Amino acid sequence: MDAVVAATHPLDPLSLDEIASAVAILKDTQTLAATFRFPIIRLEEPTKADLAAHRLGDRLPRLAFILAIDISNGETFEGVVDLTAGTVSSYIRLPLDELPYGQPPIMLCEFETVEGTVKSDPRWIAAVKKRGITDEDIPLIQIDPFSSGYFGREFEKGKRIVRAVSYWREDIRDNGYAHPIEGVVAVVDLITNQVVDLVDDEKIIPVPRKKRNYGRETFPEPRPDLKPLQIVQPQGSSFTVDGWKVEWQNWSFRVGFTPREGLVLHELGIRDQGRLRPVVFRASVTEMVVPYADPTANHYWKSAFDAGEYGLGRLANCLELGCDCLGHIHYFDVPAADDFGQPFIMKNAICMHEEDYGILWKHYEFRNGIFEVRRSRRLVISFFATVGNYDYGFYWYLYQDGTIQLEAKLTGIIQTAAVATGETYPWGGMVDDNLGGPTHQHFFNARLHMDVDGGDNTVTEHEFVPRPWGEDNPYGNVFDTKTRVLKRELDSPALANGETGRYWKVSNPNIQNSVGKAPGYKIVVMPSPVMLAQPDSTVAQRGGFAKKHIWVTAFDAREKYASGDYPNVHAGGDGLPGYVRQNRKIENADVVLWHSFGHTHVCKPEDFPIMPVEYAGFTLKPNGFFASNIAMDLPPEGHGQSVDNRLQPSPDDTGNGSCCHT
């Protein structure tokens, strides 16, 4: 349901009316032509300092950030509209025609024009006909516009381009990725709507024709032995929602959403002995990149920055189309804008529900017969984005013991390569006859603007090292914790190390906990690769954030994204590597913790036609933050809830708050 807001909080997303007003003010004030489009319209968020002043009574203006591009010539402007005053605070032309270049995200309206541009190009028609494509085939061919990367070519410098690859289909519902047209790549200028370069590889590989469809009509007789599994909460959920604010099991936070990042969590804190203690001021996934390890014509340039080049929020699924969540659900409808600046509602874009998560704590004392066990429950706040062939779910979990977790779920359809009969595919794995899947990597970057106990924070790096034999280690069993304080930004870029158990802790050195130490949270890093592309490669220059697991920066409101503001057709060097070169002080400061994590995917037959979910993510766990286990006061199973009635229908089995059984 849409958030019902009685009084707008400074962090609330722009409403439909605010979006319409902001666009109208900008158009009127700047006399914008009808050729202007708007890839990004979002709230220009207040800072920690702004909100501190607001709590003391200062009124903050509502500001809207608008990215405007004239599609007749590519000129791009950043505007900030003061909705409170009804004026334009700033309107700046971006020098995207100068090094290091860069472009706004690709828009849906542009995607829709690429197919016609490609299919009308005589060079492309001749190239696909060499591969057995007929005039009758062309109307059903699938054209995939793909963010182009950057390699220093003249048609890339300061240009708004995409590279387009093609897939044969016999029917509109066919899975085109089973039929790649190998060796043909069209480069389309989105401003001139022309093919400015065409790759037609000399090696002709026949188009694979075996069908690998996945629509439900492909499997008319599903397995019959799956019995219903019902998850219901007869007494309703344990969370409360007030507009965009949520409270659950001592947790308190605000939900936000941006076109680039999608789901954002604001002012995440937890009540402890009656006091709300801040933990994270703002948490989101600001970027992801998917570099491919195939050097051939169709694939070497593939390195989609799915947030910066497309927008995870703009591509969020409307969950009314299907059920991604199970249980007693609260949906958030998100106000958004299309490419023309027209407001609309993204229905059910965010899903929130509770899940049972097994055992939280347990002990059986056989000496006196005390047996105590408590089950864990977690709150799930999630959304899914479909970016071309891949689908990504982002799931934030809050636990009753103070733990915070982010889990990225990777599914969808792999990119494919045609392989000639009798040949093997050297750049990945075979997934079917004449069909290979290029090896590639997925990297995400989470931006955590920390606020542990509401003050300046310090980040320390810890790892375990064996103590040498000696008088203080006579049996050889002692090991120590080695600690390093990150004092300046260049101290921070680091890799995880499972062998030494390396971890990082964010603490507040200005406060003492119950044992005289600084209260903190530690980040628990899952086993995760880093980008394996050569450091001087263009993808590594553009996605340098993926070369390290951990980065820490001093807060700067201008530094929002791990890859920089405009990675699309960008020459590289922006984002986190550039931020930390300033080498600002980060000890006992307002700090942002950035974590890169991901997955290396060597494709296999089980990944096709749709790959089962792969998981990646991290956890933030309290470390000296509480005086004891704060989940000790949870009721035993059956106390305060009816075990016998758990499988009875919910009082409201339709719409918001329903149990999803589709």
What residues act catalytically? 306, 390
In which order are the strands placed within the sheet that holds 142-147? 142-147, 161-167, 184-189, 194-200
Quick one: tokens of 652? 């409201």
CA distance 26 to 79: 8
Burial class (CB in 10 A: 0-12, 13-18, 19+), 288: buried
Biggest CA–CA distance in the chain, Å, is 86
CA distance 417 to 541: 26
**Planar angle of CA 107, 109, 114, nearest 5 degrees:** 95
Q: What is the CA radius of gyration of the chain?
A: 26
DSSP string, 304-357: EEIIIII-TTTTB--GGGS----SB-EEEEEEEE-TTS-EEEEEEEEEEEEEEE
CA distance 190 to 400: 50
CA distance 315 to 302: 19
The alpha carbon torsion through 233, 236, 239, 240 (nearest 10 deg) reads 160
Using alpha carbons, select from 94, 164, 107, 160 the residue that is nearest to residue 574: 94
Q: Which residues contact 598 (CB under 8 A, 6 or more apart)?
A: 288, 441, 442, 443, 444, 528, 529, 546, 616
Quick one: tokens of 332? 């958030």
Q: Which amino acid is at 388?
A: G
| CA distances from residue 592 to 229, 527, 576, 601 in whole angstroms, order as listed | 42, 22, 11, 29
CA distance 182 to 131: 9
Helix, strand and coil in the chain, % to nearest 5: 15, 40, 45
Using alpha carbons, select from 374, 409, 367 the residue that is nearest to residue 390: 409
Taken in order 310, 147, 529, 555, is the CA torsion positive or negative? negative
Quick one: tokens of 3? 């958030």
